[in-house]
Structure 1
């Protein structure tokens, strides 16, 4: 073989190797360049996931763990001790450090790959600046003045940023715009002479997961998509195709049973409508209609109708992404509920009053995947619970594998003022300390201080607030999109029972989650608990009557 031929062959081999190497490098860098939407966690994917029905019902792939970092009182170290309910919840932080000639308090410092899915800032901290450092950079990628997350340097659409009702005095806001990071995220504040209320929920992915770190440049390019997502969250579509319905007059003690079409389907929306009843019995009827739903031979839903729709005691109106009700007996659930072979809905009237009930399920075909999960909901109630006695109320304990999607807390407050000073704790799998530790009931449900008015946002709200002093009936609901919580074996959710004055409360809670057929709540109440004779409503302000 001639030298020329050998040389030409050598050049061709080198060219082939170079092209192959370049292709590999391009594939490896596709996440950072934005070319790969399927194998990379990036802002666009996360925005899409917020309103993805398919993502709702699936155990996440790649799997991730979750954590909620807050400014809770760091004296809370050991359950059952006197300091567990320590309540200076604006004092906690990670450390002090020096950055570019500034002394800063580090509020959040987590290794990636990960995503911040929800943040709350509040406290009226004019003169302070919030900084977000990404991937170990020496200078912050994002500077937020006045410790006010609503002043994020990007036009955040309304559905992804909720200003609390006390915003004008405290700058309290809930921020749901996702912030992905490949290596790390650190959040600091630069006025170290004061304390701050702070919350950040995050996901952490396995180390080999590709994540494209947030940039303002990419976010500006995706403004149209973010606005579309916001519109979907603010104005959700109620699926209406392929309805299966049943309407019957129900005597006291009667039941309605409805079998759904066989095989490979999903309930996409579920309507309940009561009519032909005495209005004075409305609250009792809505709580005395026990909804049972079974999928593929196993019951996964058993909740009073008033609580299943997120309204709670009295069944007032609800207006959020997954749950909607008019407060007069008509309600929608927009949780997708897939099944492989069969599904059945049964409603039992234990209220003692006659009523006409219509149930309508709208369905679509559904392809069952290896990580598809069933919809679950269950509830519990405890009455006469004393506050300020070191007790934690258990909202519900789940056993098995699944994804926690939300909850409702409905209650009667017998004490003279605010009852919800206690923090939330969520224990996941083998936690020896809660992965999620908050700063109070009000912050968990996206408000600053005790709410004084009914409010709603796409992620829930307060359907009922009878009295500005927080006496009497109150209901909160929260549902989760990107801030959902996967668990593999176990999830326990509780609130500390702390009130301003001491007293007693009656609590009822409902949990919503997706799981396999064996996942269940370990401590539900029985149906008869829904017949508890609650005290009359308290009104002190004519606008609440």
Structure 2
């Protein structure tokens, strides 16, 4: 992403539109985004009275949410779906968002729907940040600018066990934009270490990326499989020529997410400090739960502790000229010091780049299921 594209996050062009640029919106009321073609479908109230606000997505099917001729920039994506169906829970992990730019064979984005919007574990959480907002109840928004030159294609894949009813969505975009040679394509990638990583081996957030680009954010969903504090691992960025040692690293996972001291409110002076969740423009800890909200079982709601964190590198982007690798140490702490852990870690990396990304097929729904 170029510096010009970064400016999309500011209030630019609020009074005078750029010459030749036009605004469009795609949803179930106007699937093509064509001018003067929205709200045609009739309802019981008559023509043009909310006749087609949503659609149902059968199991195994792929819905094309947008197929747009460029050049242009996707400015905003909004979507909401039920978080469970008659076929079971985990809809937010079973549905997959797939973005493809300019007819390329490899998707630039192939991420479980909930995780893309910082809702890990197939569970809802409120997020109030600069590029991602999740509002009550399950209104998921992305404000990442996504430039494209000739074509943008956005798909929603249903790998759930049954039909997902009531998929509501909207894609707001412009066409006619000047997309320069320095404008990188938006990418996002999901990876998981499912508690089987050998002790001392870091979780890989991103690898195999070659080209020039900008790393702009991370979402981490960690299910604790060991006792004691889970967040002492450092996030490490290996840039360009880095081999054994990285150029950048954090001092701990909660520090990377803008928090401190295990997110505990020590000021309450209670015998057991309370964990404090928060959501801010560039970093947050919106998810902390040890109860199962999926209603998957009638026997118990006890669950392993789940922790969801995000960090956006928008004011402080991480640039790379040739390649980038991002990892997370799995390190814990207790009264007698640090120790190696192997938790269930699922992450999303967000970045812009020029050049082909490394091929990283998304695991199937069974291998993505939350613990």
Query: Structure 2-normalised TM-score?
Result: 0.74
Partner of 2:286: 463
In structure 2, relative to structure 1, the CA distance for the partners of 1:261 and 1:438 (3 Å cut) is closer
> Runs of at least 4 residues of structure 1 off by over 6 A?
none
In structure 2, relative to structure 1, the CA distance for the partners of 1:280 and 1:478 (3 Å cut) is farther
Higher relative contact order (CA 8 A, sep 6+): 2
Partner of 1:254: 61
1:473 is aligned to 2:306: yes
In structure 2, relative to structure 1, the CA distance for the partners of 1:280 and 1:417 (3 Å cut) is farther
Cα distance in 2 between the residues matched to 1:265 and 1:484 = 23
Partner of 1:192: none
Partner of 2:74: 267
Structure 2 counterparts to residues 72-471 of structure 1, below 5 A: 241-246=23-28, 247-275=54-82, 278=85, 281=88, 284-298=90-104, 299-313=107-121, 314-326=123-135, 328-355=137-164, 356-365=166-175, 366-385=177-196, 389-397=199-207, 398-432=209-243, 433-451=245-263, 452-466=275-289
The gaps in structure 2 that reach 5 residues or longer are 12-21, 29-53, 264-274, 292-302
Give the drift of 1:301: 0.8
Give the drift of 1:511: 0.5
Cα distance in 2 between the residues matched to 1:530 and 1:406 = 26
Cα distance in 2 between the residues matched to 1:322 and 1:456 = 12
Cα distance in 1 between the residues matched to 2:240 and 2:366 = 30
Q: Name the structure where strand makes up a greater proportion of residues.
A: 2
Give the drift of 1:340: 1.0
Partner of 1:494: 327
Count how many residue pairs are aligned between Structure 1 and Structure 2: 300
In structure 2, relative to structure 1, the CA distance for the partners of 1:436 and 1:285 (3 Å cut) is same
Cα distance in 1 between the residues matched to 2:125 and 2:4 = 27
> Is contact 1:381-1:525 (8 Å) kept?
no
Q: What SS does the aligned partner of 1:499 have?
A: strand
Q: What RMSD, in angstroms, separates the aligned Cα atoms of the two structures?
A: 2.8
> Is contact 1:412-1:507 (8 Å) kept?
yes
Q: Name the structure where helix makes up a greater proportion of residues.
A: 1
Cα distance in 1 between the residues matched to 2:254 and 2:82 = 34
> Is contact 1:292-1:347 (8 Å) kept?
yes
> Is contact 1:291-1:347 (8 Å) kept?
yes
Cα distance in 1 between the residues matched to 2:369 and 2:189 = 21
> Is contact 1:417-1:471 (8 Å) kept?
no
Q: What SS does the aligned partner of 2:68 have?
A: coil
The gaps in structure 1 that reach 5 residues or longer are 1-48, 58-227, 230-239, 536-545
Q: What SS does the aligned partner of 1:442 have?
A: helix
> Is contact 2:87-2:161 (8 Å) kept?
no
